[in-house]
Amino acid sequence: MKRETKLMHYGRMPTPGPANPPVMRASTILHDTVASYKGTKLARESDDAVLSYGRRGTTTAHALAAAISDLEGGEACFLFPSGVAAVAGALAPFLGAGDHLLVVDTIFPATRTYCDTVLTRLGVTVDYFPWDTTDLGAYAKPNTKAVMVESPASQTYEVMDLPALCADAHARDLLVIADNTYGSGWLYRPLDLGCDVSVVAGTKYLGGHADVMMGAVAVKGRATAALRKHTHMTGQTIGPDDAYNCLRGIRTLGLRLERHEENGLALAKWLADRPEVASVVHPGLPGHAGGEIWKRDAMGCNGLFSVFFTEGFDAEGFVDRLSLFAIGSSWGGYESLAMPSNPEAGRQFPNTTRSGQMVRFHAGLEHIDDLIADMQASFDAATG
Ligand SMILES: *Cc1c(COP(=O)(O)O)cnc(C)c1O
């Protein structure tokens, strides 16, 4: 079955019944007999979708987890109350005092903060490596346990060669954990490319409407048992209302991403020709760092891209004058966004060939003509 069709059938209820798995609110699940109670406890050890206790999710969350697991090509999927909680929950099961973790330098900033504060306090040492690394020989140590990657890079979108990196990491007996929020199971599937664990902030494209916080960790192979155990022991769970909203967002994931990609590429190309713009970073633009790898490994681009304005151009003034692009963190909702940022801050291997103020844009689902007219008007007001 084509994946577009599957989006419409995830969590389908027995008929006659509702199209969507209803919001099931529950902590205690009641039984009539001791045998039934004991049977459920036993069954949930081998089946994540057994209704046993609210913390293990009800049918609403089970339907969402099964959908994300399928999107990501996982054996199992566990849900978390935010993307950052999912990142933490994907790393912690595999690390303890005395262990060493390798992290790609272009990682999402909150992941870096978690590694440099919480993990180091627990006795884990953390080192960073450049995004284009495919041989970890210069970075791995005898106590290295895992590698954390993100492709394309946070805010600057350099594309990693995940198949090559994973082959090298596995030869060294290291687990590879990927942050796949950019691809969100639709554009990119790290588990298919050799990664052991794939994290998605469902807050972004899965929810898709800027109204849900959610994180998911999909897993397959030898990492599965440890991840399942750690998730349960740390009490990670999501509410049924959030699960419902996220599954509702997933119905239109494919359609939305088609438009996000179309609008993002059109804006990126239009901006690249402007005299006020020094460079545009977008994995679908010719000459992009790792762009040929993205073509090989991915199924498309999302609505994100970043613009480096020429030295001296008032980029913040330009953003302030936009009316269809609101200023804000996060992305992946239906709306267009702009966020000034300094992506190289805190990186150990910063790209020093770029200068000028950077603005990260998210192309929403508006009509492209209106988005371009909005930018045109803001440029006109700057020079006129
Ligand atoms: C947003 C984001 C997260 C964190 O998700 P939250 O739901 O905001 O906690 C993690 N990784 C990446 C790449 C993100 O963009």
Residue 265 and residue 270: Cα distance in Å, rounded? 8
The tens digit of pLDDT for each residue in 187-246 reads 999 999 999 999 999 999 999 999 999 999 999 999 999 999 999 999 999 999 999 999
Q: What is the pLDDT of residues 61-115, one digit of tens each?
A: 999 999 999 999 999 999 999 999 999 999 999 999 999 999 999 999 999 999 9
CATH number, domain at 232?
A: 3.40.640.10
CA 272 to centroid of ligand 1, rounded, Å: 27
Ligand 1 centroid from CA 301, angstroms: 17
Co-location of 185 and 234 in the same domain: yes
Average pLDDT over the chain, rounded to whole? 97
Check whether residue 231 and residue 344 sit in a common domain. Answer: no
Whether the per-residue pLDDT at 26 is higher than 80: the answer is: yes
Whether residue 362 sits in one domain with residue 269? yes
Give the pLDDT score at 43: 97
Domain endpoint, select from 250, 267, 293 = 250
**By the 8 A CB rule, do 211 and 74 touch?**
no
Give me ligand 1 centre to Cα 312, in Å. Answer: 31
pLDDT in tens, 168-204: 999 999 999 999 999 999 999 999 999 999 999 999 9
**Of 106, 203, 331, which is best to mutate to test ligand 1, by the most ligand atoms within 8 angstroms of its C-beta?**
203
One DSSP character per residue, 178-243 reads: EE-TTTTTTS--TTTTT-SEEEEETTTTTT-SS----EEEEE-GGGHHHHHHHHHHTT----HHHH
User: Same domain for 245 and 264?
Assistant: no
Pocket-testing residue among 106, 113, 160, 181, ligand 1, by greatest number of atoms within 8 A of Cβ = 181
Looking at 250, 270, 292, which one is the last position of a domain? 250
- Residue whose CA is closest, atom 6 of ligand 1? 83
106 lines ligand 1 (CB under 6 A): no
What does the pLDDT read at residue 251? 98
Same domain? For 71 and 15 the reply is yes
Secondary element (H or E) of residue 77: strand 76-80
Regarding whether 281 and 226 lie in a shared domain, the answer is no
How many domains does the chain divide into? 2
Check pLDDT > 90 for residue 25.
yes
Q: Count the helix, strand and coil residues of the chain and give each as a percent rounded to the nearest 5.
A: 40, 15, 45
Q: Measured from the CA of 201, which atom of ligand 1 is nearest?
A: 5
Which residue's alpha carbon is nearest to atom 10 within ligand 1? 83
For range 318-326, the mean pLDDT: 98
Count of all residues that appear for the chain in the document: 384
Domain boundary among 215, 250, 285: 250
Which residue's CA is the nearest one to ligand 1's atom 7?
83
Q: What is the CATH number of the domain that holds 272?
A: 3.90.1150.10
Are 210 and 268 found together in one domain?
no
Same domain membership, residue 241 and residue 159: yes
Q: Are residues 201 and 62 in the same domain?
A: yes
Q: What's the rounded Cα separation, in Å, for the pair 371 and 360? A: 15
Q: What is the pLDDT of residue 384?
A: 52
Q: Kindly state if the Cβ of 179 falls inside 6 Å of ligand 1.
A: yes
Distance CA 199, CA 197 (A): 7
Residue identifier of the C-alpha nearest atom 15 of ligand 1: 181
Claim to verify: residue 328 and residue 199 sit in the same structural domain: no
Quick check: CB of 108 below 6 Å from ligand 1? yes
Say yes or no: 277 and 181 in one domain. no
Residue range(s) defining the domain that contains residue 118: 3-250
User: Does 109 lie in the same domain as 219?
Assistant: yes
Rounded Cα distance between 329 and 213, Å, is 13
The mean per-residue pLDDT over the stretch 300-309 comes to 98
Whose Cα sits closest to atom 3 in ligand 1? 83
Distance 62 CA to ligand 1 centre (A): 22
